[in-house]
Amino acid sequence: MTATPDAPTRTYEVRTYGCQMNVHDSERLTGLLEEAGYVAAPADQQADVVVFNTCAVRENADNKLYGNLGHLAPVKAARPGMQIAVGGCLAQKDRSEITKRAPWVDVVFGTHNIGSLPVLLERARVQDEAQVEILESLEVFPSTLPTKRESAYAAWVSVSVGCNNTCTFCIVPSLRGKEKDRRPGEILAEIEALVAEGVSEVTLLGQNVNTYGVEFGDRLAFGKLLRSCGEIDGLERVRFTSPHPAAFTDDVIAAMAETPNVMPQLHMPLQSGSDRVLKAMRRSYRQDRFLGIIDRVRAAMPEAAITTDIIVGFPGETEEDFLETLAVVEKARFSGAFTFQYSKRPGTPAAVLDDQVPREVVQHRYERLVALVDEIAWDENKQRVGRTVELMVAEGEGRKDQQTHRLSGRGPDNRLVHFTPVDADGDTVPVRPGDVVEVEVTYAAPHHLVADGPVRSVRRTRAGAAWESRVTSKPASVSLGLPSVGVPAPLPDDAGCAVR
């Protein structure tokens, strides 16, 4: 699409649901649209093109999409030329069902052909009929596509796409396909290019980063990749998500501990603490192995913060099984957890298992689990009070109240800290997202820390300068679903896959 005097530039909005992989895919979608001549719609204006990048892991994802499409139907009817596109995992799953239930949708595209979006939009406009294109396998690795990154200083970098696991509750492998690995040189070249643009933090993404390298015959490739990241000048922080306990090896722990810019933070999905339930889930590890990994990580990195995913109410889960999960949570002492009530997804083996747990039982167990997770996380956070921590300042305005104006940042362990940007004299300290500050923690809550004392030091960074340069020319924001700083960040309530 090229703008002419008779065809003004069209605007777009991308709405993202689900995991970090979807957020990164949305950065590619915005890059594709802008390369095709579209511009981001101002926040107070209706876009000419609305793109939904969907999740399919939980039932709520379906309801949310079709509810949003219903809200847009009268808007589209009143705006000739407006287009709606639906992509992502739910599009891959539902395919032409979307245009049957919402015939005002113009384009449906899958997880393997996000690069087709601009062409499909133009074809739908010219032919005046819906375009549905779903590829069954990946033809071009998506990192080769143009990308408009939401953050100037922190970036997602895919090491692989797809998954070779067969977890009975998960629909992701059928939607994302088998694992495809990028070569290490391609990944490192992308990171080096990002650092040259001002990025100081990267998060390596994969459905199962521990199996990275299997496709090209190197089972130790992920640990080697972490060590190589440590050799990139200007790259200050490296994170990754998500590993799988079955494939987690000691060489990765050593690489984390011995590479200074790899952060002491690990997101390790548990899913259940019951060996019986783990077997039914086809999770090829058991409680002892999981806790053994946690012990070895903490032995190598005593300050490591470990987070997890847990599913409550998997078919056949008994009260004894659930108590096993609570026992693992108490032993592991997670700094946080994404907790989910089991959601039956058609097409997964678990959907047809007997002994589906009654909803009221699941709800009660869920509440007990959340209470324990929060209690432990709060206790762990209280131990940080009085400590000095180095924060990378995050985007956004932080928290406001009548007494103070706080900004936010994340420590090396990825804990969120709200801080007051003042010096010892009470004067405002100018800091930018991407800059680094030292503060003393003064208060702990279950999900965040507070540093209300004076900022002890400020380091203005190239990353902060990159952010400052971007905002002076950035006309609008794209509605990505997750912040680009740190992993894990608060996920939407339909984000059950969480790249694991």
Angle (CA) 340-408-18 rounded to 5° is: 30
Confidence of residue 477 (pLDDT cuts 50, 70, 90): very low
Buried b / exposed e across 373-384, counting CB within 10 Å, b at 16+?
bbebbeebbeeb
Confidence of residue 498 (pLDDT cuts 50, 70, 90): very low
**Bridge-partner residues for 205, per DSSP?**
158, 241
Which of 200-214, 263-277, 322-336, 339-353 has the lowest average pLDDT? Answer: 339-353
Here the tokens at position 309 are 């995913």
SS3 392: strand
**Chain-wide mean pLDDT for the chain?**
88
How high is the pLDDT of residue 138? 67
Here the tokens at position 308 are 């997890």
Q: Is pLDDT larger for residue 289 or for residue 172?
A: 289
The single-letter code of the amino acid at 367 is: E
Distances (CA, A) of 153 to 150, 197, 200, 246, 462: 9, 9, 5, 33, 8
CB atoms within 10 A of CB 327: 14
Buried b / exposed e across 191-210, counting CB within 10 Å, b at 16+?
beebbeebbbbbbbbbbbbb
At 229, phi and psi to the nearest 5? -60, -30
Q: How many contiguous H segments (helices) and E segments (strands) does the chain have?
A: 14, 21
What pLDDT digit, counting tens, does each position of 343-388 carry? 888 788 998 998 999 999 999 999 999 999 999 999 999 999 999 9
Torsion-angle region of residue 269: left (phi > 0), alpha (psi -120 to 50) or beta? beta
Angle (CA) 324-325-331 rounded to 5° is: 90
Among residues 331, 272, 286, the alpha carbon closest in space to that of 306 is found at 331
Among residues 106, 108, 111, 89, the alpha carbon closest in space to that of 97 is found at 108
Which of 58-62, 453-457, 458-462 has the lowest average pLDDT? Answer: 58-62
Q: Give CA–CA dist 445/11, Å, rounded.
A: 41
Q: Using the structure block, give the residue that is written with the tokens 């915005």.
A: 30
How high is the pLDDT of residue 315? 97
SS3 205: strand
CB atoms within 10 A of CB 285: 18
Q: Give CA–CA dist 210/215, Å, rounded.
A: 12
Here the tokens at position 52 are 């939904």
Confidence of residue 91 (pLDDT cuts 50, 70, 90): confident
The single-letter code of the amino acid at 262 is: V
Confidence of residue 64 (pLDDT cuts 50, 70, 90): confident
Helix pair angle (250-258, 221-229), 10° resolution: 0
pTM to 2 decimal places: 0.82
- DSSP letter assigned to residue 422: B
SS3 125: helix
- DSSP letter assigned to residue 96: T
Q: Does residue 7 have a pLDDT over 90? A: no
Q: Give CA–CA dist 36/314, Å, rounded.
A: 45
- DSSP letter assigned to residue 81: T
Residues 51 and 29 sit within 8 Å (Cβ to Cβ): yes
Q: Give CA–CA dist 92/18, Å, rounded.
A: 14
Query: Structural domains in the chain?
Result: 11-133 (3.40.50.12160), 148-382 (3.80.30.20), 388-460 (2.40.50)
Torsion-angle region of residue 271: left (phi > 0), alpha (psi -120 to 50) or beta? left
Tell how far CA 278 is from the center of its chain: 24
Q: Give CA–CA dist 100/298, Å, rounded.
A: 52
What pLDDT digit, counting tens, does each position of 410-421 carry? 999 999 999 999
Residues 200 and 234 sit within 8 Å (Cβ to Cβ): yes
Q: Give CA–CA dist 387/443, Å, rounded.
A: 10
